[in-house]
Amino acid sequence: MEPKENGNQPGRVIEGPTNPMVTPLLNDLYQFTMAYAYWKAGKQNERSVFDLYFRKNPFGGEYTVFAGLEECVKFLANFKLTHQEIDYVRDSLPGSEEAFCDYLKGLDCSDVEVYAIPEGSVVFPKVPLMRVEGPVGVVQLLETPFLNLVNFASLVATNAARHRFVAGKSKSLLEFGARRAQGPDGAISASKYCYLGGFDATSNVAAGKLFGIPLRGTHSHAFVSSFMSTDEIVDKVLQSADGETTCDDFISLVQTWLTKIQYSPSLSGFFSETNQSELAAFISYALAFPKAFLALVDTYDVMKSGIPNFCAVALALNDLGYKALGIRLDSGDLAYLSTEARNFFCAVERELKVPGFGKMIVTASNDLNEETIDALNKQGHEVDAFGIGTYLVTCYAQAALGCVFKLVEINNQPRIKLSEDVTKVSIPCKKRSYRLYGKEGYPLVDIMTGENEPPPKVGERLLCRHPFNESKRAYVVPQRVEELLKCFWRGSADEAREELPPLKEIRDRCIKQLENMRPDHMRRLNPTPYKVSVSAKLYDFIHFLWLNEAPVGELQ
C-alpha cells in the first residue's frame, strides 16, 4: 500500500502497515454488508463510538501488554479502497446498487478519531485499549483489521513478558520461532512483539531488518553432520586476532588442545574419543567466525564429545587472541547438562590456567516455555541465555486473545450489548479512563467515567465501583492520576496527536511499566487481580440502561 499524501499541504506521511496484505479487504464480509445496509438506510454517517477491549487476561495471569497500535494507525492513515477492491466488494454483495461503489470510492478515515492507551502499556480487562469514533459506515470497516492487528500482537507481547518474568532480568532471551509460527507474518509479528515484550534478540532476519531487532544465530545439527572428518578442511590457516601472527595449521592446534584436555587430571575420564564430524564442523565454524564462536554441542553426546570438542577449539582460538562465546544445548536434561558444562569450563579454567574460561555463555533451546524455565530455576541450572520458539510465538498455552470491538454510542445515544453471560455485557457510553496510583507508586485501580465527568483528583477521595457487582466498591485517594486514552488519530497525519514512538521506546515503556506493577499481580501462582472500576455515576447509568433494554421474563 502506498502512503497517502495529505491533500495539498506539505503534509506528514504515515507509512502503510508492515505487511502489504493489510488492506481494507482484510475484513469480514459482514462489515461490507453492514456498510451497504447503513448506506441504504442513510445511516452511514451517523457518529458512532466503538470500544476495543478484552474480557480476560491471557495465560491465567492478571495482566496484559497492549501492542499493535502503530500498525492500526498506519492502516487507518492509508485506508483507501482501490477500484479493483471496490469491484470485488460489489460483486460480493448480491443486488447492491452501483452508487454504493461511489460511496466506497470516497471512503477514508478523515472523519475518524482514535484514542488509545499508548502501545507497550500494561492493561487490564474491560478498560478500552482503543476508542474509535467516526461515521458508523467506515468505523465498522475498521473492526476486523484492528482486532486482527491488536489481538495477536498483545497476546504474544504478553507471552514474551511472562517468559521474561520467569527467566529473570539477568538472562538473555532469544526468540527462535520463525519455523513454527502461524505463517510468514505470524513469524515476523511474533519477532516484533516478543522484542517489545522484553526479549533481547531474534533469529528472524526479516524482522531484524524491518524493525532493527538484534539478531542471533550460529549453526544447526545439519551443519555438524554435513562434515565427515577434519580431512575435508582445506584451508587451515587462521590469523591471530591482532593480525600479527598466523597459525598455519589450526586443526593441529585444536588437536593438541584436545589431547591436553584428555590427559588433564580432573578432566580425564570424561571422554575417550570425540566425534570427528563434530570436531570438523566446529573447526570450520571457528575458521569462519573466529570472533563469534558459539557451538551446538549436542549432536552426538554433550559431555563425551560436544563439550571437549568445543573446549579444544575455544582454547586454540584463545591462543590466537580470540574469545569464544559459548555453547548451545538443544536436547536432554538442560539443568544437568548446563551444570556439567559449567563445571567442565571451570575445570579447564583452573587446570589449563585460562582466566575467564569458566564464564562461557550457555544457551539452552529445545521446546522451552514458561513452565520449563520455571522448572529449571527450581532445579538449579547454569543457563545464561534461553532460545525460545514454538511455545512463545504460537502462544501455545493460549493461542488467542479475545479482544472485541463494541458499539457504545451512536448519535450521542449510549448503547449497551446485553448477554446472558454478565461478563459479556458491554460498558456503554463514550468514556474516559484513568489509572490511579497509590502511595507506594504502584497502580491501584483503573476507573472509567462518562466523557463529561470531572476527572479524579490527586488527594481527593473517590468511590470506585465494580461495573456489574453492586457489592464490590472501594474508596481510593489517588496519589497520582494518569489519563489512559490519548489521541493517536484525528482525521489526518497533520492534526495534533501522539507521535508513534520507535519500537525501542515502546519496549522501554513496557519493561518499565511491568517493573512498576505490584508484585502480587505479576506472580505466576494465584496472582491478585488488578481492580478495574467505574465511577458511581457511570455505574448508575449502566444499570439504568440495562434494565431498560433487558426483556422481562415470564415464568410459565
Site for a copy of itself in 359-398 (CB under 8 A): 390, 394-396, 398
- Smallest distance from the beta carbon of 440 to a copy of itself, in angstroms? 37
Instruction: Please list every residue from 280 through 299 that binds a copy of itself, using CB under 8 A.
Output: 284-285, 287-292, 299
| Binding residue (CB under 8 A) for a copy of itself from 134, 186, 443, 527 | 186
Q: State yes or no: residue 220 binds a copy of itself (CB under 8 A).
A: yes
Q: What angle do CA 430, 100, 91 make, to 5 degrees?
A: 115
| Binding residue (CB under 8 A) for a copy of itself from 143, 370, 382, 446 | 143
Q: What is the DSSP string of 143-180?
A: HHHHHHHHHHHHHHHHHHHHHHHHH-TTSEEEE--TTT
Q: Look at the block and give the residue holding cell 496510583.
A: 437
- Smallest distance from the beta carbon of 192 to a copy of itself, in angstroms? 10
Select from 278, 274, 291 the least CA-distant residue to 219: 278
Residues 6+ apart with CB under 8 A from 219: 281, 285, 295, 296
Q: For residue 553, how many other CB atoms are within 10 A of its CB?
A: 6
Q: State yes or no: residue 181 binds a copy of itself (CB under 8 A).
A: yes
Give Cα 220 distance to the centre of its chain: 26
Instruction: Please list every residue from 484 through 513 that binds a copy of itself, using CB under 8 A.
Output: none
DSSP 215: B
Q: State yes or no: residue 15 binds a copy of itself (CB under 8 A).
A: no
Q: How far apart are CA 268 and CA 256, in angstroms?
A: 15
- Smallest distance from the beta carbon of 30 to a copy of itself, in angstroms? 3
Cβ-contact 319, 256 below 8 angstroms? no
Instruction: Please list every residue from 397 through 416 that binds a copy of itself, using CB under 8 A.
Output: 398-403, 405-407, 410, 413, 415-416
- Smallest distance from the beta carbon of 259 to a copy of itself, in angstroms? 18
Nearest to a copy of itself of 57, 148 (CB atom): 148
Instruction: Please list every residue from 146 through 165 that binds a copy of itself, using CB under 8 A.
Output: 147-149, 151-153, 156
Q: How far apart are CA 223 and CA 279, in angstroms?
A: 11
Q: State yes or no: residue 53 binds a copy of itself (CB under 8 A).
A: no
Select from 391, 394, 345, 398 the least CA-distant residue to 366: 391
Of 46-54, 163-171, 243-251, 509-517, the window that binds a copy of itself (rule: CB under 8 A) is: 46-54
Cβ-contact 55, 125 below 8 angstroms? yes
| Binding residue (CB under 8 A) for a copy of itself from 92, 229, 245, 252 | 92
Cβ-contact 259, 247 below 8 angstroms? no
Of 84-92, 105-113, 164-172, 451-459, the window that binds a copy of itself (rule: CB under 8 A) is: 84-92
Interface with a copy of itself (CB under 8 A), residue total 127
Q: How far apart are CA 102 and CA 80, in angstroms?
A: 12
Cell of 165: 518474568
Q: How far apart are CA 474 and CA 459, in angstroms?
A: 15
Nearest to a copy of itself of 85, 508 (CB atom): 85
Nearest to a copy of itself of 221, 543 (CB atom): 221
Q: How far apart are CA 301 and CA 221, in angstroms?
A: 12
Q: State yes or no: residue 20 binds a copy of itself (CB under 8 A).
A: yes
- Smallest distance from the beta carbon of 285 to a copy of itself, in angstroms? 5
Nearest to a copy of itself of 88, 544 (CB atom): 88
Instruction: Please list every residue from 236 through 275 that binds a copy of itself, using CB under 8 A.
Output: 269, 272, 275
Q: Look at the block and give the residue holding cell 573466529.
A: 290
Q: How far apart are CA 429 and CA 280, in angstroms?
A: 69
Nearest to a copy of itself of 217, 358 (CB atom): 217
Instruction: Please list every residue from 190 through 219 that binds a copy of itself, using CB under 8 A.
Output: 190, 203-206, 208-209, 215-219
Q: State yes or no: residue 336 binds a copy of itself (CB under 8 A).
A: no
Q: State yes or no: residue 545 binds a copy of itself (CB under 8 A).
A: no
Nearest to a copy of itself of 187, 447 (CB atom): 187
Of 226-234, 259-267, 439-447, 487-495, the window that binds a copy of itself (rule: CB under 8 A) is: 226-234
Cβ-contact 153, 73 below 8 angstroms? no
Q: For residue 236, how many other CB atoms are within 10 A of its CB?
A: 16
